[in-house]
């Protein structure tokens, strides 16, 4: 899990037409937890897109996604890891059946798909900026 923690930890952002999507990951007590949030161009959060977790269950590592529109989370098993590339699969799920994270420095390509189609999303690592309120 430490190897995944080194790669995933931090804030990863990609631009979309009306703003951005950010995945923010933290690593604590051997568990990666994250959120995917949609922001306006002014960086005001619009909505939480999904909650994420990567953890060990039994002898395997799982990526667990809980999209905001789903009642239940979906688990994907880690099936491949090599030089900053991590592939998670759940062949029983309709879409996606795989999620691949490929890290290269401050760049991240995330691909999701199944046998018929796939999509690639390009993220960059960004600074975690915290806004403080004046007293």
Question: Which band of pLDDT confidence, cut at 50, 70 and 90, is reported for residue 42?
Answer: confident
> Could you give the domains of the chain?
2-126 (2.40.128.20)
Tokens found for residue 105: 């420095």
Dihedral sign for Cα atoms in the order 23, 96, 46, 63: negative
Question: Which band of pLDDT confidence, cut at 50, 70 and 90, is reported for residue 128?
Answer: low
What's residue 44's pLDDT? Answer: 77
pLDDT averaged over every residue in the chain: 91
pTM of the model: 0.88
23, pLDDT greater than 60: yes
What's residue 59's pLDDT? Answer: 95
Over residues 103-107, the mean pLDDT reads: 95
70 φ/ψ angles, rounded to the nearest 5 degrees: -100, 145
| Integer angstrom CA distances of residue 25 from 22, 55, 86, 92, 94 | 10, 13, 15, 26, 26
What's residue 97's pLDDT? Answer: 98
Question: Which band of pLDDT confidence, cut at 50, 70 and 90, is reported for residue 132?
Answer: very low
């Amino acid at each position: 899990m430490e190897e995944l923690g080194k790669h995933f930890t931090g804030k990863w952002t990609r631009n979309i037409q009306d703003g951005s999507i950010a995945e923010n990951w933290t690593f604590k007590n051997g568990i990666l937890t994250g959120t995917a949030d949609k922001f306006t161009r002014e960086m005001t959060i619009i909505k939480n897109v999904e909650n994420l977790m990567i953890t060990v269950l039994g002898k395997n590592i799982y990526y667990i996604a809980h999209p905001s529109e789903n009642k239940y989370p979906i688990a994907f098993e880690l099936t491949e890891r090599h030089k900053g590339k991590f592939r998670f699969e759940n062949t029983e799920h309709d879409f996606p059946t795989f999620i691949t994270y490929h890290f290269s420095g401050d760049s991240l390509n995330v691909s999701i798909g199944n046998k018929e189609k796939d999509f690639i999303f390009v993220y960059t690592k960004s600074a975690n900026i915290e806004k403080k309120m004046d007293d």
